[in-house]
Structure 1
Amino acid sequence: MLGILLGVLFDGLAYGMLLFLISIGLSVTMGLMGFVNLAHGVFAMFGGYVAVVLMQHADWPFLASLPAAFVAVAVASIVVERLLYRHLYRRSQLDQVLFTIGLTFMAIAAITYIFGPSQQPVRLPAFLQGQMRLLGLDIGIYRLFLIGVGLLVMLGVVFGIERTRFGARVRAAVDNPVMAVGLGIPVGVVFAATFAIGSGLAGLGGALGIQILGLDPAFPLKFLVFFLIVVSVGGLGSIGGTLLAACIVGICDVAGKYFLPEIGAFIIYAVMVALLMWRPQGLLRKRA
């Protein structure tokens, strides 16, 4: 029984790391930039399709397709942000929600037309397949890889926001954009760069998650609720809170589907309600 519990815990952590990689960008754009981007899952889906196209049609290795997915999604998100999103920053949240939901349906229709409605397969390299023996447990190598990538990304984002000049500019542009402009900070450029990094991480998560989450045109809507749960439970703009919430959601979802398959899909909603009743502002508030 202990082995089963540890196995479920490990699989839940790996799943949670995927949710963190995709959700952290949404947490940043909603918490730091104050922009409600419900099309965030589209960028994750785009990253997955970039990886699939590079591997299937250009014979790129899996690991090389990951940074390519990050860069491609980041560049595409800058175009979207400059052409569309920047006009909505001062609009109401309802306008932002309606626009980004509409953009999501447009993206789903476009992907369905180009690639069809079926799931996209991906083949992992041999060294990421199979299992390894660790502390008496058979651990999936790819899930261990996901946990490692998630922790590295978390450390990189924390360092970038809290310890760099760029992070200081982001915080200044969010707290007082007028004063930031007066100090010579290019607020528009800072917002575009922040949005690109968050979207690029979503693309990276989408590419990494093909094997576990699957990839089809319905991806943005299928997992939108999970991303919103992670962001709301973790606390807007809180990197540590997003990681903690993603791990909780991942573990509860995997455990529920394993031990209570009849109602397992609903357990995360009960957990979300309980956590938000306990901490309405999120598990970890954004540092002022």
Structure 2
Amino acid sequence: MTKKIRIITDGSCDFPQEVLDRARPDVVGINVAFGEDSYIGGIDIDSETFYKKMKESKELPKTSSPSPDRFLELYKGDDEELLVFTLTSKLSSTYNNAVLAKEMYLEENPYKRIEVIDSASGSIGVASMILKCSELIDAGKNMDEILEHIERYKEEIVFFGALETLENAIKGGRINKVAGKIINALNFKVIIKIEDGLVKPIDKARGGSNSIKKALEYVENNVGHQDEKTVIIGHANCIDKAEKIKSIVEGNLNFKEVLIAEIGPIMGTFTSEGAILVSVL
């Protein structure tokens, strides 16, 4: 008999409500701080308040990985195996803390199986993987079979986005201040790709409508077997834009389903308000 498998992830993952309902993951919160004010993202600060505070702040909010103790609390439970997804280890120490918690737990519970997955992704990209894995669990697949699928998912996932502004990249020192202001003034929107755990600029477009057009072309040109795959559209406090894109995708492409998620504080700190992310798996 296949043991029950429970999914755990960290607060960097941004879920459509439909995925939360189906996969029922346990989530370890991530700390977000504006100066002296500290919050747990998604628990005691909602996205609307977060984006408002970020826009008003001269400095970017600071985020910190959940401690091993937080993971340890969620590892407790009887007669189940744990599948733990974390934000890419290239951008965060969350994976290492989850592994450390596993080692601590297994010292006293050596017979429990805990698999910690470095997603090499984040936000809605992790949500896409968790959705797929929950379907495998529901189909009765065991942990070894699921782990094989996860390695394939990491290769197959298409995850990219369009940034409305480079304001946060300028604040965070990731782009030259003068160059960033020129790009913003010219109304260029940067198209990014999230691959192998890193964020890479891949294109630019003048104006929001052109960036959406390029994003949709990217989906059409890079995703096969559309009828077997789910699209998740993430938005940084711009639901109208996400719903418009969803309508276009549903009207012109042949995906199994198209879902919408709100981008939370972790990815939102990077993208700035107005960004759109798209994950296909």
- TM norm structure 1: 0.29
Larger relative contact order (Cα-Cα within 8 Å, sequence gap ≥ 6) = 1
The structure that is helix-richer by fraction is 1
Q: Please, what TM-score do these two structures have when normalized by structure 2? A: 0.29
More strand by share: 2
